[in-house]
A and B are shown apart, each in its own frame.
Chain A
Amino acid sequence: MFNRFAIAIVTVFLLAGCSAAQVEQLAPTPAPASGAPAGPQIGSESAALKPTRQPVPPVRVQVGDISVDVPVTPVGIEADGSMQLPPDVSVAGWYQYGSDPGSDTGTTVVSAHVDSLEYGLGPFSQLKNLPAGAVITVSSADGTTHDYTVESVQSILKAELPLDQVFDRDGSPRLALITCGGQFDYDSLHYSDNVVVIAVPVA
């Protein structure tokens, strides 16, 4: 968008010079500064109040290759600023302020606890075993389904998780499944890594 408008502005000023010369050739007296717009016009649209697209939440994620079939519920932010997660390891959370599977752009982020003291080991513990190309099916609240294929599975030190890329809203549509992994610190009760699956929509 930056380049397009910069070019438009430069073009406007260049064409302004050209058209003034043409007017002098066609008319014996210079035309008064009026009327003709100087070259390409900047775009505009109606500013009338109109309904905005409401997100369509995902409600189910199925990953056949690792026998995962979990319900999904919308989640927000914890008080400490981290992504909220359902306490039950068998229920995944969808980051409700980001993209959903029906969005034109951005990454749909779904995460579940890999384990908990209360619930034990969860289905997302199997994410690290997913092969590239595996199919993930997401069902949405409006009855539609969206299929994705796994592009990458990575284990990343938590401090190095590229949050702006994972929670991207403007790029091409993707699905991110996230959980914990790596080493476990028995003092802080935290894992060292995030296991991140990136999947792209099936064409």
Chain B
Amino acid sequence: MRHKLLAGLAAGFIATVGIAAPAQAISPSTADLYILHAVPDLTVDVWVDGEILKADFEPGTLTDPFDLPNGDYEVAITAAGAPLADAAIGPITLTLAANTSYTAVAHLDADGNPTATLFTNDLSTIAAGQGRLTVRHTAAAPAVDILANGAAALTNLTNSKETKADLPAGTISAAVAATGTTDPVIGPADVTIQEGVNTIVYAWGSLEDKNLQLAVQTIGGLHSNPNGVQSGTAGLAADLNPVVLSLSIAALVALLAAVSVATLRVRTSRQSNR
């Protein structure tokens, strides 16, 4: 290994001060669980295994991730302040696998009744220059198409289902329309596809109640770095090769010595010829 410090403080590799811990807490024994409240007009308490872990939870809000050992959890949603026996959703059993990220969504089904869906978040690495767009249908509405810049990009998405694609990083004008149509029922709205980020867009609310809208969750740290920096092709800035240099010096010394001896012989012979 050759690694030279030319100036400054870092004695080893590039200083690691300030490198943050990974953004995801999942591990071989734990899972991440986010909870999204997507039932309009209802402030709720979230119960996990008989205890309230999130109280007075407003529609359109997303929790930070719970870091939980893998296993089964009994989850229920009640109106804020109501007893567990009066659960509006559940109790339902969520099975969480280790090393996995989930979002549990409390939402309306296609007929407008409260329900819950457990989605798995795709944390696989994204190619450099791209971001991931995930779209989840959690609205009281029939099947929809997702339009990007006016054209249908992801089609025939139904309630409690998701679809996703890795796209070039950038901002798109996104809209939601009934399948086969292009008249938006939500949007258009600018959605930034951030490089190395899974941008998860939820359609929620009720078509009938005219309160359809988008919610967004982002999970970052999924990017790929360049595999190197190739920044020179002519050899003009090369260090002298020490092996070549020492051989050159040795050869030069030998040459000079030979020339001196030859010169001495010539002088001596001339003197002796006088």
Find chain B residues with CB under 8 A from A32 CB.
Answer: 83, 85
1/0 per residue, CB under 8 A from B, across A37-67: the answer is 1100111111111111010000000000000
A169 to B51, Cβ gap below 8 A?
Answer: no
Q: What DSSP secondary structure best describes chain B's contact surface?
A: loop
Task: For the complex, give the distance between the alpha carbons of A47 and B201 in Å.
Answer: 9
Q: What DSSP secondary structure best describes chain A's contact surface?
A: mixed
Indicate whether A203 reaches chain B with its CB closer than 8 angstroms. no
Tell me the nearest residue of chain A to B192, going by C-beta.
A52
1/0 per residue, CB under 8 A from A, across B42-84: the answer is 0001000011111101001111111110000000000001111
Minimum Cβ distance to chain A for residue B95 (Å): 18
Indicate whether B128 reaches chain A with its CB closer than 8 angstroms. yes
Minimum Cβ distance to chain B for residue A166 (Å): 6
Interface residues of A in 163-189 (CB under 8 A from B): 163-172, 174, 176, 178-184, 186, 189
Stretch at the interface among B106-114, B154-162, B230-238, B260-268: B230-238
A115 to B236, Cβ gap below 8 A?
Answer: yes
Indicate whether A6 reaches chain B with its CB closer than 8 angstroms. yes
Find chain B residues with CB under 8 A from A128 CB.
Answer: 6
A49 to B216, Cβ gap below 8 A?
Answer: yes
A97-B60 contact, Cβ under 8 Å, with A13-B51, A47-B215, A186-B235: no
Select one of B8, B36, B201, B229 contacting A194, CB under 8 A. B229
Give 18 pairs: A residue, B residue, CB < 8 Å, sorted on A. Answer: A1-B21, A37-B53, A42-B64, A46-B60, A48-B215, A49-B189, A77-B129, A83-B230, A111-B231, A114-B231, A114-B236, A120-B236, A153-B8, A163-B228, A170-B23, A171-B19, A184-B238, A191-B232
